[in-house]
A and B are shown apart, each in its own frame.
Chain A
Amino acid sequence: MDIYLFEAIINGILLGGVLALLALGLNLIFGVIDVVWICYAELVMCGMYMIFWLHSFFGWPILLASFAAILGVAGLGVLLHLLVISPILGSAPINQLLATGGMLFFLQSLATLLFGTDFRNIGVRLPLIELGDIFISYSRLLAFGTALIGAVALYLFLSRTYLGIAMRAIAQDREIMGLMGVDQRRVYLITSAVGGALAGLAACLLVLQYDVHPFIGLSFGPITFMICVLGGLGNMIGGFIAAFVMSQIIAVGGYYFSIEISYVLAFVFFIVLMFIRPQGLLAR
């Protein structure tokens, strides 16, 4: 096999890890609260700025800055839920989607206002790993590994803890769980915090690979939604698999054509699949 194609496939798998992490967070929110956070990737952008400022400006060690960013974005998730989502929980689902879309605009332009449109880099350069003839970026490998650990941790949280089980139960039947004595408001808040924390974790991983700028959310936000829908909105395992399918299309498409064409292919694949399997890849 062509060595560059092989490298593209490896990179696709590594990219899939981060996309899977993003999709997990979004799916968690959707599954439990039944809301699509259109501004999810913008929360990631906020996290990346937090790390940038804490590390590059205030000189915090990168790990501490990352930890602070995870907490910070979790806080943003809670704020988003309290200020935007909870007032319109009862209204048409499309209104909730649009309200978070308004937040997308707000966060993007607020970042432009505060930080300008400069591309900022935290200046941490991790080495490349050489395996035979192929080069693998260490930061991507780290991102992939962390994303997998995050996914497993989330799985354990959802299947082993009381809160996690309550979350899944609410996702299955909103009304009955209220009668069973589960405090829905509290579960929603915690879900928002966990969803935010996952965005923060993704921010930590992405900031090592990409420059931060106010519009970075647009470069991986849409693909994340497509992945979630492809896997079946709210279906975490589906989303996880879809992330790797999409990232392969992007990586291999980028190898044969160009990066834009590869995204076009991914989106067209998404549209066509929506028509063949409207309930997602894993629907029965």
Chain B
Amino acid sequence: MKNELARRLGALVVATLLLALVPLATSDYALHIAIQILLWGFVYTAWSLMGKFGLVSLGHGAFLGIGAYASPLLWNYAGLTPWLGIPIGILAAMLLALIIGYPCFRLRVVGHYFALVTLALSQVALLTIVAARDITGGSLGMTPKAVGHSWYALQFPEKPYFYAIALAVWVFGILIWHFVDIGKGRAALDAIAEDEGAAAAIGVDVMREKLRVTLASAALTAFGGALLSQYFMYVNPDTLSGIGVSLQIVFAAIAGGMYSALGPTAGGLFTIALPEILRVTMGTNFVGAANTIYGALLVIFIIFMPRGVIGLIESRLAAAPARKISKEPAA
């Protein structure tokens, strides 16, 4: 266990150092893409914390939306710094997760039903934001008051600053992922995913384990939403809340591979870079081409590669050395 942890940490440190060098070598445009990949990768990673244990939530658009709107709203109307606004948004998202999660887990709302209840949740968030158009700007979105470069307002027009923030947050997300993956709760959650009744019978506190991972996932998602709105300096209900975003989160995590630490980030690479590449190479005449290809690929992924790209690579890599080891005498 200790060695495994050290190995994973070591790999993460090396990857982080390499990624930290990126701003030295690239343009603002490439950084812009990289920041989006890291931030969305963080959100997708947060979703996969639940997803890989069979808790398929289509409600993450709601958590993302709360996180994204809380700090700009508090900043614009109360002058509250995002340093407080973001934690408030995160707490609000956790509260919502508790309000929905507790009855769901108590009443054993699972599978399809869990997906559809959470789907309703993301739609509620979207419509509430649109309906409160007097303060949120409705479908037109809103812009936090810009003050230029400021730590107090957490606004940085220069890309490298936000790249550093995005990288740090992304690393944090990956660490949490490993923490959950290695932690004691993992076996319990695996057991719950396999058979909830049996898990409860052998003494797993189903409610506590499920709620913990759900709250963590909601909090991280809201955090990601907050940073996305701070980075873009613009929030819009359709891109940061609602069913479309919820599905985007789910698909990116699955396409990348929700059972691997880097899978969701690979999903981010795919969902952010693919539309960019198509837009650059094919021009704007093909609005929708990226999403058409994306949608078709998703279906193909789910049918043929339910463990995602990274999952596929990992299982190939794991298959090769495993044979070598088996020849050695057991130590």
Checking A102, A267, A274, A278 against B124 with a beta-carbon cut-off of 8 angstroms, the contacting residue is A267
Contact of B251 among A88, A105, A113, A260 (CB under 8 A): A105
Near A by CB (< 8 A), chain B positions 192-243 give 243
The contact string, 1 if C-beta is below 8 Å from chain A, for chain B 113-148, is 101110111011001101100000000000000000
Is the CB of A275 closer than 8 A to any CB of chain B?
yes
B30 CB–A CB distance under 8 Å: no
Q: Say if the beta carbon of A91 comes within 8 Å of chain B.
A: yes
Which chain B residues lie closer than 8 Å to A113 at the CB level?
Answer: 286-289, 292
Does A71 make an interface contact (CB < 8 A)? no
Q: Is A218 an interface residue (CB 8 A)?
A: yes
Nearest opposing residue in chain A for B242, CB measure = A218
Using a CB-CB cutoff of 8 Å, which residues 76-129 of chain B contact chain A? 100, 103-104, 107-109, 111-113, 115-117, 119-121, 123-124, 127-128
Q: Which residues of A contact B156 (CB under 8 A)?
A: none
Residues of A with C-beta under 8 A to B123: 222, 263, 267
A residues near B295, Cβ cutoff 8 Å: 102-110
Q: Are B107 and A98 in contact (CB under 8 A)?
A: no
Q: Does B306 contact A (CB under 8 A)?
A: yes
Across-interface contacts of A95 in B (CB, < 8 A):
302, 306
- Among A94, A105, A218, A226, point to the contact of B56 (Cβ < 8 A): A94
Cα–Cα distance between A41 and B236 once the two chains are bound (Å): 24
A-facing mask of B302-325, CB < 8 A → 1, else 0? 110010000000000000000000
CB-defined contacts of B56 to chain A, threshold 8 Å: 94, 97-98
Instruction: Evaluate whether A101 and B251 lie within 8 angstroms (CB atoms) in the complex, with A109-B291, A113-B289, A278-B109 already known.
Output: yes
Smallest CB separation, A216 vs chain B (Å):
14
Chain B CB count within 10 A is highest, among A97, A102, A229, A233, for A102
B15 interface contact, C-beta 8 A: no
Given A93, A117, A225, A233, which contacts B119 in the complex, CB threshold below 8 Å? A225
A44 to B254, CA, bound (A): 27
Minimum CB distance partner of A105 in chain B: B295
Chain B: which residue is nearest A278 at the CB level?
B107
CA distance A49 to B112 in the complex (A): 30
Q: Give chain A residues whose Cβ lies under 8 Å from the Cβ of B112.
A: 36, 93-94, 97, 229, 233
List residues of A whose CB falls within 8 A of some B CB: 36, 84, 87-88, 91, 93-95, 97-99, 101-113, 116-117, 214, 218, 222, 225-226, 229, 233, 258, 260-261, 263-264, 267-268, 270-271, 274-275, 278
Instruction: Point out residues on B near A: beta carbons under 8 Å.
Output: 54, 56, 100, 103-104, 107-109, 111-113, 115-117, 119-121, 123-124, 127-128, 130-131, 243-244, 247, 250-251, 254, 286-292, 294-296, 298-299, 301-303, 306
- Can you list 19 A-B contacts with CB-CB less than 8 angstroms, sorted by A residue number? A93-B112, A94-B54, A94-B56, A101-B250, A102-B301, A103-B295, A105-B247, A105-B298, A106-B292, A108-B295, A111-B288, A225-B116, A229-B112, A233-B113, A267-B123, A267-B124, A270-B120, A271-B124, A275-B103
